[in-house]
Structure 1
Amino acid sequence: MSTPVTIHTAEVAAPGKRPATYQPLLTLDRVVKHFPAGRGKRVHSVDGVSLEVGKGEVLGLVGESGCGKSTLARTILQAVTADSGHITLDGQQITGLKARDLKALRRTMQFVFQDPYGAFDPKMRLGTSLHAPLRHHGMKDQAERAARIAEMLAKVGLEEDMLERFPRECSGGQLQRLVIARALLLKPKFLICDEPTSALDASIRAQILNLLVALKDQLDLTLVLISHDLRVVRYLCDRVAVMYLGQIVEEAPREELFTNPRHPYTRVLLAASLAEEQHDPAHHTEADLVTRLKGEPPSPIDPPPGCRFHPRCPLAQDLCHTTTPPLAWPGDDHSTTCHFWDR
């Protein structure tokens, strides 16, 4: 067993100080979403997530496949209904809204898809696909719709002749620009971007990322970026939240998280990203506790007791097997759920 170190088991502290100008746009309070898995079991996709995203902020949401990131995004957008907890957007409680109120809400929240090729009906001209959401939300005048579409095409760097094409006649980069343009047609306050560059060639990824940065500033957008690519997260995001097996295990300002990770899982993710950059799967630094995870993630149907990371954690002690670590803000704007975060 590892040598015992200081244990942090105090009650959850208040979040650290944010800038004086900080105003939350999106707030999640202990949000839970489980799915039935047969024989009385349930998949713990999202299990008590609390987060804030400030107005004009870009929050990066990272973690392994299957950790619950996309389910959390769908729950925020009300595509699926939370089992419990509360979600507030710009001061409005959005959980439990009726269909009419949800339709109005969806003008303010939009989604940028991972696969631009799957985002459009292949049998429909792109112009028809872009007119549809405007008609659905009450813009009946065709000239008004055309003007709005032309405005957004210009913002994403495309010509209007794209509207006559079918999706198969466009490149991946062009389609992703169109996905972004469509998401912006209703002038939302908030975008969720789910791996928006993972299906694109490396040369196109930088163009799309730069476009998102520019649009975020021009249109005063707030973004949640879901990504496996920590280089993208470091480039684009203001804050980063790390998700593991349905829970947030660490949250911090971008540079603070990248230079001073507190949770062992975050350190593993950063070490793996560094190894990939250097094309050396064995690379590690003295500051890294571990460069490889032990085994596969536990099943979200039967998550382990105590700290959910303990079966794969090199720091795990007896306490970790039995006691869930609280979300602690140890005097600054950097939270973690680890009994031994300062080791």
Structure 2
Amino acid sequence: MTDDALRHIEAAERKAAEVEGIGPEVAPRPVGTVGVVGAGTMGGGIAMNFLNIGVPVTIVEREEGALDRGLKTIRSNYERSAARGKLTSADIEARMGLLTPTLALGELSGADLIIEAIFENMALKKELFARLDGLARPGAILATNTSYLDVNEIASATRRPEDVLGMHFFSPANVMRLLEIVRGARTAPEVLKTAIEVASRIGKVPVVAGVCPGFIGNRMLARRQQAANELILEGAMPWEIDRALTDFGFPMGPFQMSDLAGLDIGWSRETSRGETLRDRLCEMDRRGQKTGAGFYDYDAERRRTPSPVVEQLIRDFVREKGGTPRHHTPGEILDRLISPMVEEGRKILAEGIAQRASDIDVVWVNGYGWPRATGGIMYWAGVR
């Protein structure tokens, strides 16, 4: 099956760039200059994709400190590449020389493509797009990097919804191959085609998605996380759940991933009421790898081990919530995690959010670590 599966995913990656109704007669817009709003981890990674191919980038932040930190991170990423022999000092300076840092949003007025990479908050994004609408040149493409929010609602803040779409990069944006391109209800065909061609120019694999919460990948991921949380309430331990996925071929499971990202993303001590396991871990300052403890315990080299503290915390939590602990086999855990994802994939196809089952395979292989040798989630499940 492996050879057939690999041929399938290779063909699927080529096919994903094709959109029904958008043929060679649709001319893409030229993109020679790019603006990025937000110099955090995501914004900096997005900017690097364009600097790497010689496209000038203007990157905007609200505060000098944030801008300086962003530039420092970009440079240090390049310096790590140079240390591995992949770049020279001259390469680094050439790329950094293409980057214009600024605190003035108005400096994006001449950009051909502007990509927003700010905090995942609808009100903030709509406010920003209203401002971009007033300053961007006619014909400029306005893209949001949202991973979950309604692209149509963001576009409604402008007088040019035909120029707006989603360009959902995956972190780290300068490394991950997937680019989920979200087509709004009013996105112009040439704007969509431009985004697809830009993705290919910067070495990404583009997949077009329709508008819904979480698009293709995160919508399915939410089902897996829900299943993982249900297993915890039945007494399964995070390391048992993670191991079922890593044994299947994933690079990491959901709780390893949470520890890596940081459990305190979106968490606030002031509003926390200890209602979830995550709340309780954060209240104990077990916030993931960065604090040396999260769902797992970590040593100085960030090697993880199952935590007796978390095991007792889960037992107490399950008892408090009225759950009934029981044994789960690895096969049962895997089925419980993956079956709802496949079910959601079928819904995504039925709703037209994805054009074809193989597009879903491309998303999961290139954005979420689904084992490539299986051909992708839908191919593995027999959905063609």
User: Same fold judged by TM-score > 0.5?
Assistant: no
Structure scoring higher RCO (CA < 8 A, sep ≥ 6) equals 1
TM-score (norm 2): 0.28
Q: TM-score, with normalisation over the residues of structure 1?
A: 0.30
Q: Which structure is higher in strand share? A: 1
